[in-house]
Structure 1
Amino acid sequence: MKNSEHTLGEKVKEIIIEIFIIVFAVTLSIWLHSWSEHRHQQKEVSVFLANLRNDLQNDVESIDTEVKAYHKTNVEYEKILALTTFQLDSIYKSKSKVNFPIHSHGQTLNVGNYEGFKSSGKIGYIEDEKLKQKILTYYQIYVPAANDVDKMYTDFLFKCFDKEIENADKPEKELYSDPKYKKTLEYLVKLGRNNIRVYKENTKPLAVELIKEIDKELGK
């Protein structure tokens, strides 16, 4: 600006060029930083999705195990319900006992990786909106629903145990012919059927679908 050899037009031109260079440098720096941060975020997403895929694969296997267990215990409970007074007498005369199967249904599905990623506020890093919504639906709706139906089943199972304890001083055959006990066992069977439906028609299909969606996302 103090150089008298330059005209006003030349000075203005040089100022504009310098401003442009500064703006360009700052913009480029911001863009490179954003690009680097975005790249880092997407690496975190890829690691998360890979871990989530393993969790979902384990969920599918656990679901199959739970469904088989429900089927097996339901068959045994239905056999108990079908026992007549004559059959019960015959069992106890031969000094045999009625087999009452027990299978505890607790936390079946894996939520550790999801909860860790969610609590760190990184779920928003997933750019595929459909995939993100399916993940949220699975872990926020389907997993809690599966846990709830398992808990309800276990509660009714303990009602059967309570009834057995209450009748501990009576012949066992009276327990299995007791209307209240049989009604409790009937509800246990119904709950078992319902839980099989929840796992087979809701939870497992979405888990399988998510595995396929994640495979596509990781294969990009």
Structure 2
Amino acid sequence: MAALIGELFDPKAPLAISEHSRPHWSQAGAIVFITFRSADSIPRDVLLRWERKKNQWIESHSELALPWRKALPHLSSQLQNAFKKQFDRTREDFLDTCRGKCVLKKRTLAKIVADSLLYFDGERYRMGDFVVMPNHVHLLASFPSEESLTVQCDSWLHFTAHKINLELGLTGKFWQQEPFDHLVRSPEQYNYLRKYIKENGVKAGVREGEYLYRRCES
């Protein structure tokens, strides 16, 4: 069993939930699995279709007359997990089809992201395994406070977008602004996510050299 880079999610401990385009859960010291993706990785019509399906799922599994973002925190943990499992898998499978320009296939651009993720490792956060795919990034990390997760993700997205756009001679939005995040609940889930990150490039059919994988050895 691999050593953990932080604590497991504790449902009895203080928890911060923020709501923007989607609910974000954070807990001081807890390990979180984060995915952020390029702005062109999922077409708008696909996102709208998923929104409809999420609302339909809520309607069929509860009596709450609320949009899924508002309803989800009020569901039982079992229903929340079922919802997340279904739609997280849908999203991850779609990302692995590598839609959009997929500029992170270029090693120099992927390295901008990797270097940024590691820059404050051990100071502002603890970075675990990560993979930079052609149009998205998966990582495991832990943060000292609920607020630091959001602040650091915003910093990563802003800094890397600026650097990548400079390299490409472009301006405008590079990342979809809000990452997806999931608090890790067990050692088994932690090791599953490490395996998922390690195998993501091969599973998606991306050629060696067109993704960047980093394994945390500590």
The answer, yes or no, to whether TM exceeds 0.5 is no
Greater strand content: 2
The TM-score bracket by the shorter chain reads under 0.3
Please report the TM-score for the alignment, with normalisation by the length of structure 1.
Answer: 0.23
TM-score, length of structure 2 as denominator length: 0.23
